[in-house]
Amino acid sequence: MNSVNPEGIEPRRDLVQKIEAWDGRWGRLVLERLRVQMADADPAHGLEHVQRVVRNACLIATNLVNSPGLGGARRVDFEVLLPAAWFHDCVYVPKNSAQRSEASRLAADRAVVLLTDLGYPAVKFPAIAHAIEAHSFSAQIPCRSLEAQVLQDADRLEALGAIGLARCLMTGGSMGQRLYHPEDPFPTVREPRDDQQSVDHFFAKLLKLPSTMQTESGKQIASERAGYLAAFLEQLAQEIGVPIQLPSEFRGLQSGSVG
Ligand SMILES: [Fe+2]
Ligand SMILES: [Fe+2]
């Protein structure tokens, strides 16, 4: 446990042990609370989403050991990262609600109440609350900690790859959107309107996500998963018989493998 190599970087197995130890102590208790708390969440933002974000966060955090330049000083505190990941969406605010930009602050407040109830160490609350507040795209709060960066990346990965594609179409469908604009499916002569067409969301937001990632590991996975979305758009273009020219920053993503 806690062995550190000469560069001050913890071996991956120690990180995995820390995750397992946290899970053994808190995992079941946290899951019980969340099942009650998230009973009303929509299918794209429910418990399965949270479980995948926790998995992504662990994947990124354990990959940090291989990130050059991070060094031992930047070690993830799993007692902050894991509860923050589990509770990051514990207050549900619909995507089209005026209160949307408040959602992550409300979730941070609620997480502290729920964790207090569980007897969780209060000394971790400010860092947990910050990571939750900063995870959201719409809150526009800069990350001030490595845990906040990892959680933000972990959540953003959910908008990419096969899961991102499915969630985008499910959410668009539930809001009554059409799949694509009938005259200009891949916005060329107009600004993307992702409140009207699901495919426009790829151009307004999803394909830009890799450039917003905070960690090297997150960026790498994001690029691979954005490649999957770009490949979907190219296939769609072929099937509907409309040529597609992906903007220059998206070119090359198609060659990425599915992450
Ligand atoms: Fe969220
Ligand atoms: Fe989320």
Q: Identify the structural domains of the chain with CATH numbers, from first to last.
A: 12-148 (no CATH), 160-255 (1.10.3210.50)
Asked if 79 contacts 124 with a C-beta cutoff of 8 angstroms, the reply is yes
Cα of 33 from ligand 2 centre, angstroms: 17
Identify the nearest ligand to the CA of 164 by its number.
Answer: 2
Q: What predicted TM-score, i.e. pTM, was given to this entire model?
A: 0.88
Asked if 74 contacts 64 with a C-beta cutoff of 8 angstroms, the reply is yes
The tens-digit pLDDT sequence of the chain (259 residues) is 445 555 556 778 888 899 999 999 999 999 999 999 888 887 778 899 999 999 999 999 988 765 555 544 368 999 999 999 999 999 988 777 888 889 999 999 999 999 999 999 999 999 999 999 999 988 889 999 999 999 999 999 999 999 999 999 998 998 899 999 999 999 999 999 999 999 999 999 999 999 999 999 999 999 999 999 999 999 999 999 999 988 666 665 554 443 3
Cα of 224 from ligand 1 centre, angstroms: 22
SS3 129: helix
Cα of 189 from ligand 2 centre, angstroms: 33
Identify the nearest ligand to the CA of 49 by its number.
Answer: 2
- Which structure tokens are listed for 88? 């990051």
Q: What is the dihedral of CA 9, 11, 17, 18, to 10 degrees?
A: 10
Identify the nearest ligand to the CA of 158 by its number.
Answer: 2
Cα of 194 from ligand 1 centre, angstroms: 18
Amino acid identity for residue 38 in this structure? M
Neighbours of ion ligand 2 (CB under 5 A): 89, 155
Round to whole Å and give the CA distance between 133 and 83. Answer: 13
- Which structure tokens are listed for 195? 């409140």
